[in-house]
A and B are shown apart, each in its own frame.
Chain A
Amino acid sequence: MKRRSVADWTFEIANHLIMLFVIVITLYPFLHVLALSLNDPMDTVRGGISIFPRRFTLINYRETLNYQQIPWATFITIMRTGIGTFAGVLSSAIVAYVISRKDFLFRKLVTVMFVATMYVGGGLIPDFMLVRHLKLMNNFWVYILPGLISPFNVIVIRSYMDSSIPDELGESAMVDGANDLIIFWKIVLPLCLPVIAVICLFVAVGHWNSWFDTYLYCSGNPRLTTLQFELQKIMTSAQTTSTVDYYSFLDPLRQIKVTPESLRMAMTIIVTLPILFVYPFVQKYFIHGLTIGAVKGS
């Protein structure tokens, strides 16, 4: 092998240093917040915490999990993520299958109807008025229905179907007497599992992370609150109120042992944790789904 030149070595070293820098600036803020959430609140006020807690405690988490709406918000968030993902991905897969069928009479029409919505939409106010007219305000279904299908996901699933499922498969099943419903459910859907898994994870992350629909449509009903919305409320109240009022969102009857700052750090970690658990799978399926598509497509 040829010996590497000095310039090459310099580049190698510089590139590795840049990459290390990217890793550090990405991870540091998360580790910092994690350390703060695990540190004694009174000790945190003194400052100087980096990525390790100085006086370890779980009190912030205990207080957060008992705080007002949090247990209920967790339940609602899990429900909307579960139902929303199931309904959304199944609907997208059905639309994708129908428009992937080249012999379908209304294929062009249905495709255009969905794709056009990627470029133009009603906008904030008309959407808001629609939700109001449909009596979806302060209603759980506002989390599921308006965003049920994303045309982008439909296109992704359809291109996977086009590239990795030969038309002859459906045709031969049809000769055997299967109808389109059975072909979709028994043949096409199982073959699309890699792409379905990726889309499921993206849709689930979207549901888990959304807060604005709670703010806009459901802030009148505390029984429909979500975790992200609760965190957003804690953040807003911490900015607009004075230091003394900070404590008002803790139960006044209980002895105060935590600061709102530490509470917020614990809440931030609690809301992020499920994403971190899901993340390695997203990662795995992401690469897996893409490579399978490439191999099967050939």
Chain B
Amino acid sequence: MSVEPMADGHSLMPLVPNKRNWRKTIARQKYLILMVITFVVWVIIFRYVPLWGWLMAFQDYKPWKSIADQQWVGLKQFIELFKDVDFYRSMRNTLAMSFLGLAFGFPIPIMLALLINEIKHPRFKRTVQTISYLPHFVSWVVIASIVFRVLSPLGIVNEVLIRLGIIDNAIAFMGEPAYFWWIVVFTDLWKEMGWNSIVYLAAMAGVSPELHEAAIIDGAGRFKRMWYVTIPGIMPTIVVLLVLSIGNIINIGFERQFLLRTASTRDVADVIDLYILNYGIGTGRFSFGTAAGVFKSVVSLSLLSIANWLSRRTTGYKVI
């Protein structure tokens, strides 16, 4: 390094860099700049140019016209969006599956982590963990294929239910709209609960053993220690993940719904992203689809900020 530290540890570099210093630093860091410049260009093209594409939401975009010739229509696309019955249906489906997903998918990994944490045998503990993360690494296509087989009228679930005498005739689970949300939510829970418990287990490993020992001396039983030592110890983690999942309530994606839906469950399966996909790309109404996407991003960012603000106000933890 050409800038030598002085005896008191401060650098000789002036606080406000002048022009000569800038040029010198750039010359010295030319390799660093060279290394990163391609990826800066990449991030601009693939991440920032699409943001500029949001302008399409205020146009009546026609693919055959050049960008300068597009007609500006103001908020027309948004007004049409808020008049569309299908939009409200897809919002209902999105919110329903999000809230069900949060109600089961949020607490159950915490409980699983609490229980895994109580296992004394290290080998059994590791086995349970290894097996429980396994479905996380398997694709949704494979999971959907398995779900279709397991829940088919000839599948194992129907077979067991009939043999136990709970039902008389096989149920076509995948074709029945009433079951669809639950199938999506529980498949997701099955796939991700082990994986989602890792972060809590890591947080629990950070809880000081002395706190547990002190609690034992004070006569606290196992449940008391879980409640008064372990859970407060992992509270920051819980709050961070809760804030992030509230921010993602509208971003539930579409993969699960796309792969698990059938012709008869479309009405309850179409979520906001599938709506955008159908209208925006399927029927070529690019501006309309973009408007729906912009709406989604705005809602998501507002939810995240509100959740972050609430968490700061109530618990003092700040996520962003």
Residue numbers of A with Cβ under 8 A of B are 7-8, 11, 15-16, 18-19, 22-23, 25-27, 29-30, 32-33, 36, 45, 47-48, 50, 91, 94-95, 97-99, 101, 103-106, 110, 113-114, 117, 119-130, 134, 145-146, 148-149, 171, 174-175, 179-181, 184, 205, 208-212, 216, 228, 231-232, 235, 238-240, 261, 264-265, 267-268, 271-272, 275, 278-279, 282-283
Q: Are B39 and A125 in contact (CB under 8 A)?
A: no
Q: Closest approach, in angstroms, between the C-beta of A61 and any C-beta of chain B?
A: 16
Residue in chain A with minimal CB distance to B294: A123
List 9 A–B pairs whose Cβ atoms lie within 8 Å, in order of A's numbering: A15-B119, A22-B128, A45-B154, A94-B36, A124-B277, A125-B290, A128-B280, A209-B137, A264-B149
- Say yes or no: A216-B53 contact (C-beta < 8 A), given A126-B290, A180-B29, A231-B145: no
* New A-B contacts (18) at CB < 8 Å, excluding given A22-B128, A124-B276, A179-B31: A7-B222, A23-B127, A26-B131, A27-B131, A29-B150, A32-B149, A94-B39, A101-B32, A119-B301, A122-B54, A123-B50, A126-B54, A180-B31, A209-B139, A210-B139, A268-B142, A278-B137, A282-B137
* Known contacts A23-B131, A95-B36, A261-B149: A125-B293 contact under CB 8 Å: yes
B35 sits at the interface (CB 8 A): yes
For B130, give its contact among A15, A134, A283 (CB under 8 Å). A283
- Within 8 Å CB of B124, what residues of A? 16, 19
Residues 124-174 of B contacting A (Cβ, < 8 Å): 124, 127-128, 130-135, 137-142, 144-146, 148-150, 154, 156, 159
**Dominant secondary structure of chain B at its interface with chain A:** helix
Which 5 A-B pairs have CB atoms at the shortest separation, nearest pair first?
Answer: A122-B50, A126-B53, A123-B293, A209-B139, A126-B50
Determine whether B217 belongs to the interface, using a CB cutoff of 8 Å to chain A: no
- B35 and A272 form a contact (CB under 8 A): no
Knowing A149-B43, A240-B263 touch, does A125 contact B130 (C-beta < 8 A)?
no
Q: Which of A19, A105, A231, A264 contacts B119 (CB 8 A)?
A: A19
| B39 and A171 contact, CB distance less than 8 A | no
Q: Which B residues are CB-close (under 8 A) to A104? A: 29, 32
User: Which size bracket describes the interface of B in this complex?
Assistant: 35 or more
Chain A, residue nearest B2 (CB)? A174
Inter-chain CA distance A113–B34, complex, in Å, is 17
Q: How far is the CA of A121 from the CA of B273 in the complex (A)?
A: 14
Q: Which residues of B contact A267 (CB under 8 A)?
A: 145
B141 — which chain A residues lie within 8 A by C-beta? Answer: 209, 211, 228, 231-232, 235, 271
At the interface, yes or no: B112 with Cβ under 8 Å from chain A?
yes
Minimal beta-carbon separation of A264 from chain B (angstroms)? 6
The residue of chain B having its C-beta at the shortest distance from the C-beta of A235 within the complex is: B145
With the chains together, A261 CA to B289 CA distance in Å?
A: 36
A181 touches B35 (CB 8 A): yes
* Bound Cα distance from A271 to B146, whole angstroms: 12
Q: Does B208 count as interface, using CB distance less than 8 angstroms?
A: no
Judge if B102 is at the interface, Cβ distance under 8 Å: no
Footprint of A on B, CB under 8 Å? 1, 22, 25-26, 29, 31-36, 39-40, 42-47, 49-54, 56, 112, 115-116, 118-119, 124, 127-128, 130-135, 137-142, 144-146, 148-150, 154, 156, 159, 190, 194, 221-222, 255, 259, 262-263, 273, 276-277, 280-281, 286, 289-290, 293-294, 296-297, 301, 304, 320
In the complex, A210→B52 CA distance in Å?
Answer: 27
Chain A residues with CB below 8 A from B221, complex form:
7
Query: Which of A33, A50, A171, A211 makes the CB contact (< 8 A) with B146?
Result: A33
CA gap between A121 and B293 in the complex, in Å: 10
Contact check, B150 vs A32: say whether CB atoms are below 8 A apart. yes
Residues of B within 8 A of A48 (CB): 159
- Given A105-B25, A275-B138, A264-B51 contact (CB < 8 Å): no
